[in-house]
Each structure stands twice: as C-alpha cells, then as structure tokens.
Amino acid sequence: MTRYCVKCGILETEETPLINGYCPKCYLEYKGVFKKTPLLEVILCSKCGSLRFKGKWVYTRSLEDALVRILEADYKRFVNDEVDNLIVDNITNIHRINKNYYEAYAEVNASLQSKTYVKGKYAVRFRVVKTVCPNCLKKTGKSFNAIVQVRSERGYLTEDEINHVYNILMEPGISEDIVEISENKNGIDVKTMSPVIAKRIASIITRDKGAKIIESFKLRKYDPSTGRRLGIITISVRLPAINIGDVLLYKGVPGVVREYSGSRIILEKFDGEIIRVKMDEYWSGALVRPHVVLEKEYVVLGYDNTTIYLLDEATGEIKEYPRQINLYSLREGDRVRSYRIGDKMYIVRIEGGD
C-alpha cells in the first residue's frame, strides 16, 4: 500500500520509511527523540572521581563520560515509543542552571523502530551527588609505597594509550591497591600501596606496548636493628612513539613500519625485504627515526626494463625513476610515495591499482 508522510507528503520508500506516519526528517522535527528532557542523577566519589553505575563503582575519566554511560543505560524513561536504541556520540556545553542542577547538550544517534537512524542534539539536565566510594574509605589514612609514571617518547600520551592504561588499572587485583591516579600534560601517575602491584602494572604495559622501564628507590626510613630499608619505589614506564607507516632506519637501512606489537616491530625495508625487529633493539638504538622528507605521492603510469614512469595527479608532472629489483612488482595504476632521506630518494608502494 502506498503511504505518504502526514507532514511533508513524501512517498514512503525503503530508504525513507514512515515512522508512525512521519518520514525520518519530519519525525525529528515534530516529535523528536525525547518526549521529555532527561533528568539524571550522577553519583561521584569525591576522592577518586569514580561513578556509581548500575550498583557498582566504576572509574570514569570525566563528567562527560559519566553522562554518556548513564544516558545510554537509562534512555528508555525519556524517549518516545518509536525509539528502540540510543547511542550518545558526544556531550558538550556543561553549565550550571541553578544551585542544584546542571545542563548539557547530548548529540545522539537514535534507532526508530529498527527501520532507520536519526541524529539530533538535545538538552539534558542532571544533578551531581558527591560521596566517598568504598575503596576510598578503605584507603583513607593509608600511605603509598610505589609510584608508576607512564610517559611517552612523544612527550604526551595518545587517547588510545590513556584508555589502555586505565583499562589495566581497573583490573581486579590492581584497582583495590591503587591509592591515587593523577593525569598531567606528560602522562599518568599511579600511586599504589604495594610495590608488587606497581611492578605488575608496569609489566602489563610493557608486554602490551613495548615500553621501557626504569626503576628508582627513595629512602624514607632505615631500621638499624633489622637492616631494613623503607622507602618509595618509582617505576618510570616509557612508551615508544611508533605508528604504522612510520619510516625508521634499522642499522642504517630505511623501512616502513607495517605492524607493531609489544614485543616486535614488522619493518618493510625500502628494498622490499620484511624483517622482524625486537623491541629491545628499538630501545638499544638499532632502530632510529631519521629526518625524512615526504616528497609526493604518485601513480605508476607505466614502465620499461629500466625505468618506472610516475604521474603526479595534482600537477600532471611525469617523473622517471630507476626500475630497481625491489620495484619489479609495481604495476600500472599502483600508488607510490617518494621519500628523501639525506641525499637519497626512495619509492615505496602505498596500495595496488584497480
């Protein structure tokens, strides 16, 4: 049966289904995702910032993150009947509206009757309740005996690295021992009651990310009767600044990073050879980051026995490059990138042609 939107008159199609008589555009305009403004309660630990969520205390990195979790878990109380799923893409513009309540804007992606998705930006109101979580109550008055300092060669941690560290810190057997977590512009500092747990944290990060560990000890107290030295262990965990596609020199020979794990780096040398380099060699200096000039990207226009002809699609310029043995597999339509390291130029395949 032919049906039309009750507001704009558009014909219903598979791409434009009707939702309770409305096309998706009109549904969003006249009904919207929410039938009433969401009113949320955010219960946070005043000591560590943990969120009470579904009866448990979970670590959350920000108030925005807490609001995303709560709204995605409790949206059904506030949405119209046609909404059967809700994803919160972003929370912005948090501001106080009175003594007890705040307001923010939620950018949401909502499924309507499992037929289509609509996007919208809506006001969300909430109040913050501060209390102290059980872990912090247990830790009150307890001192720390170890510090784990997580840093990166690049001078800051990426979002992926930060999330990875927090996932480790929340693991059972680790989270209970943590006294304090603090972020700064250089990385993350973690204070633990037990040096054993601190070493475990450092070991897991190293296993996963190939980090370098440096340990130091600061004496706090010495007991002459037992000869026991009491102090704080500081473990510096330094992450390598390696990304897929980086150009590195291995024993003076350039190559591109194709894979990277905590134990090794897969390097495609510019001569085509694939080598596996242990992370220990990276930290020992066998792998170095040269000064690289990325010149241009080209398309292989053609080739003969001695020469490859490269086309700069932006300018129409055609460049000739010697057809070396490692480039014999290049075919017309392949895309390549040229690098200059020192006084030498190298051609590396990006992707194959059609």
pLDDT tens for each residue of 176-187: 788 888 888 899
pLDDT, one tens digit per residue, over 300-328 is: 888 888 898 988 888 888 888 888 777 77
- Token pair 């992926």 in the structure block, residue: 160
pLDDT value at position 353? 46
| Residue 242 phi, psi dihedral angles, 5° rounding | -120, 135
* pLDDT score for 322: 86
CATH superfamily of 291-354: Nucleic acid-binding proteins (2.40.50.140)
- Interatomic CA distance for residues 237 and 192, integer angstroms: 15
Q: What fold characterizes domain 243-289?
A: SH3 type barrels. (2.30.30)
User: What global pTM score does this model have?
Assistant: 0.57
| pLDDT value, residue 347 | 80
Name 266's bridge partners: 259, 276
Identify the segments of the chain with pLDDT beneath 70.
138, 140-142, 222-224, 226-227, 293, 351-354
- Tell me the C-alpha distance between 138 and 136, whole Å: 5
Which pLDDT value is given to residue 352?
45
Q: Assess contact for 109 and 21: CB atoms under 8 A.
A: no
Convert the pLDDT of each residue in 281-293 to its tens digit.
Answer: 999 888 888 887 6
Predicted confidence at residue 211, as pLDDT, reads 94
First to last CA, the chain: 44
pLDDT computed for residue 293 by the predictor: 65
Residue from 241, 255, 173, 246 nearest 209 by CA: 241
Mention every residue, 6+ apart, whose C-beta is less than 8 A from residue 286: 250, 251, 277
Residues linked to residue 63 through DSSP beta bridges, in sequence order: none
Cα–Cα distance for residue pair 104/121, rounded to 1 Å: 10
Question: Please, which residues have CB within 8 angstroms of residue 239's CB and are 6 or more apart in sequence?
Answer: 150, 151, 152, 153, 157, 161, 205, 209, 210, 211
CA angle 138, 142, 146 (to 5 degrees): 120
